[in-house]
Amino acid sequence: MSRSYACAEAVVATLLAGGVTDLVLAPGSRSAPLALAAHAAQAAGRLRLHVRVDERSAGFLALGLAKVSGRVVPVVTTSGTAVGNLLPAVMEAHHSRVSLLVVSADRPADLVGTGANQTTVQPGIFGVFVRGERAVDAADRPMTWAETVTAAVSTASGGQNGYPGPVHLNLALPEPLVPDDPEGDWGRKRLQLEVPEPAVEAGFEPVVLDAAPPTVVVAGDASPSEGARARAFAEAAGLPLLAEPSSNARGGTNALRCGRLLLGTELADQVQRVVMFGHPTLSRPVTRLLTRTDVELVVVGSGPDLPNPGRHATLTAKAVTSAPNTAQQPRWLAAWLAADQACGRRLDGLLAGLSYVSGPAVAEAVVRGTGEGILALGNSMAIRDADLAPILTKPATVYANRGLSGIDGTVSTAVGLSLGSGWPVTLLCGDLSFVHDINGLAIGPGEPRPALRVVVADDAGGAIFTTLEYGQARFADSFERVFATPTGIDPVTLASAYGVPARRLGGLVELRDALAVPVRGLEVLVVGVDRAQRRELSDAVAHCVDG
């Protein structure tokens, strides 16, 4: 009898009992028992299995699945460097509070440190970036297997403390790795485990904030439910709302299109309190506001380790409500909205007068073209350009990897968003983000396939650096090679090599026409964007607040 396979069966069955519906697998030898057990579970109709050859892509696929579904999603790897390749996804999951479960196969403990092939020290490999670590040894008593896995799932889901995040489950699997009877009694016994009802969060009373000081609401990267709470609070309290694109609060009557630009005006000098939702990271003006020592900072959220810019939050609360102050707030909100509308008109005029295709114009077309669907935004310029798009009455649900704001895993995460939601997804990203995660398009035959449209704003390099200190003329000799880093790769050719339909569009008219067609399957649209004038455009955008 293979104890390793019996252990793998118990692990997969316990995952199913804990509410797992999707599992991502990267191939390997030591993980063979888990691969066979997961495949059997899919054959029995109890699991949707996703297989990827690249562990880094697999990790971000699992991240996207977990982010959009709210469920724990395991990613299974073999031993050795395969585990290390998951670190970027684990780090992002840690900072964005996503329920990612790393299930790594390992050699038995007596082989660690002996030079055995593909054997390293896997416990502790993710350091401080996991909520917890658990170990299962197939040689231990079978009753301990399910207990350990159940604890890992509970920790990843944040069921005990409202703090979801990545967990590492390391399985020591001795040979033999395969069962004597491949069929076994899998479908007849272990799959009879029932999925428990999800826990209901206990109720709590919101903190009532007095409405005396001039207040703004800032919403950073957040889930749709958290974004809805931020928007509802701002509208009920009659306060201006500075909402990042991935806050899922950027809509309605109080959201400001030009919020980050208005923070350079006299209005911002009058702010005495900020009520913050989510994880704001997108702009330096917002960061400066949140770290001002003369501004009272109220942080709204649950669980430990809430963001605390400047380390001077005066209050943290799970929920807040505001006492009315009709003497001040209508005038305060009206002043912000009037300034925002004026700034928006100047911004529209600026973008309409350009003789080239700009990043903000592409982002606006994508935001409008996505409508009420699901929009994924790459980091660097894509999400910042989307931050200048007009406020829509019925905006898309937006996701971005803003935990650490890296460009890695962008395509794979978007694939996970589509597969996890069952809805079409539009992704806007730059050419570097696209090339960096091109293996996200490596989806084998027979695998579940997403409905995903990838729009690549191709500016032949890293445009964001032109807007930063390194983009100054005095760094011209080094800038192109060590900051812009053009790859010389045509995204259309690259996508086509992966068997994905791809085409280059001639400009904004073609882009709008393409976006008007419903998303079906997987496709890549590439739009050339001017980078040479990005710094000048950024300066001009900043001056749109001037009367």
* pLDDT greater than 90 at residue 241: yes
Cβ atoms of 226 and 301 within 8 Å: the answer is yes
Give the model's pLDDT for residue 43.
Answer: 97
Sign of the alpha-carbon dihedral angle for 145, 146, 148, 149: positive
Q: What is the pLDDT of residue 192?
A: 47
What is residue 12's predicted lDDT score, i.e. its pLDDT?
A: 97
Q: If you average pLDDT over each of 40-49, 457-466, 479-488, which comes out highest?
A: 40-49
Among residues 428, 288, 451, the alpha carbon closest in space to that of 365 is found at 428
Write down the pLDDT at residue 200.
44
DSSP sequence for 128-160: GGSSEEEEEETTS-HHHHHHHHHHHHHHHHTTT
């840690």: which residue's tokens? 94
> For residue 81, is pLDDT > 70?
yes
Tokens 């009206």 correspond to 334
Q: Are 281 and 402 spatial neighbours (Cβ–Cβ below 8 Å)? A: yes
pLDDT band at 173 (very low <50, low <70, confident <90, very high): very high
Measure Cα distances from 393 to 222, 241, 252, 303, 399 in Å: 19, 14, 6, 31, 18
CA distance 259 to 411: 29
Provide Rg for the chain, Cα atoms: 25
First to last CA, the chain: 79
Q: Of 63, 53, 172, give the one whose Cα is nearest residue 123.
A: 172
DSSP 259: H
Q: Is 424 exposed, middle or buried (0-12, 13-18, 19+ CB in 10 A)?
A: middle
Which of the four pLDDT bands, split at 50, 70 and 90, describes residue 383? very high
pLDDT band at 369 (very low <50, low <70, confident <90, very high): very high
| pLDDT digit string, tens, across residues 512-539 | 999 999 999 999 999 999 999 999 999 9
Burial of residue 89 (CB within 10 Å: 0-12, 13-18, 19+) is: buried
* pLDDT above 70: residue 461: yes
Instruction: Using DSSP, state whether 526 is helix, strand or coil.
Output: strand
Residue 176: asked if its preceding bond is cis (omega within 30°), the reply is yes
Q: How confident is the model at residue 220 (pLDDT cuts 50, 70, 90)?
A: very high
Residues 230 and 276: beta-carbon distance below 8 Å: no
pLDDT of residue 160: 77
C-alpha–C-alpha distance, residues 219 and 398, integer Å: 13
pLDDT (tens digit per residue) in 288-319: 999 999 999 999 998 888 999 999 999 999 99
**Range with lowest mean pLDDT among 19-28, 196-205, 210-219, 404-413:** 196-205
Tens digit of each residue's pLDDT (9 = 90 or more) over 312-330: 999 999 999 988 765 567 8
Distance from chain centroid for Cα 437: 14
Mean per-residue pLDDT of the chain:
92
Beta-carbon contacts of residue 134 (< 8 Å; ≥ 6 apart): 148, 149, 151, 152, 155, 167, 168, 169, 170
Residues 265, 274: Cα–Cα separation, whole Å:
16
Average pLDDT over residues 183-211: 56
Strands 167-172 and 132-137: parallel
Write down the pLDDT at residue 503. 98
Amino acid in the structure at residue 444: G
83, pLDDT greater than 80: yes
> Tens digits of per-residue pLDDT, 91-136?
999 999 999 999 999 988 777 777 777 778 899 999 999 999 999 9
Determine contact, residues 236/321, Cβ cutoff 8 Å.
yes
Tell whether the model's pLDDT for residue 187 goes beyond 50. no
CA dist., res. 169 & res. 76, Å (int): 10
Partners of 137 in beta bridges: 172
Place of tokens 């982002």: 363
Q: At what angle do helices 410-421 and 55-69 cross, to 10 degrees?
A: 40
pLDDT given at position 117? 76
Summarised one tens digit per residue, pLDDT across range 2-53 is: 899 999 999 999 999 999 999 999 999 999 999 999 999 999 999 999 999 9
pLDDT at 112: 75
Let me know: does 148 contact 135? Beta carbons within 8 Å.
yes
Question: Do residues 75 and 102 make contact, with C-beta atoms less than 8 angstroms apart?
Answer: yes
**pLDDT score recorded for residue 184:** 52
Residues in the chain, overall count: 547
Please name the amino acid found at residue 360: P
132-167: pLDDT as tens digits: 999 999 999 998 999 999 999 999 999 878 899 999
Lowest mean pLDDT among 331-345, 372-386, 440-454, 478-492: 478-492
Question: Tokens 């983000």 correspond to what residue?
Answer: 433
Instruction: Check residue 180 and give its pLDDT.
Output: 78
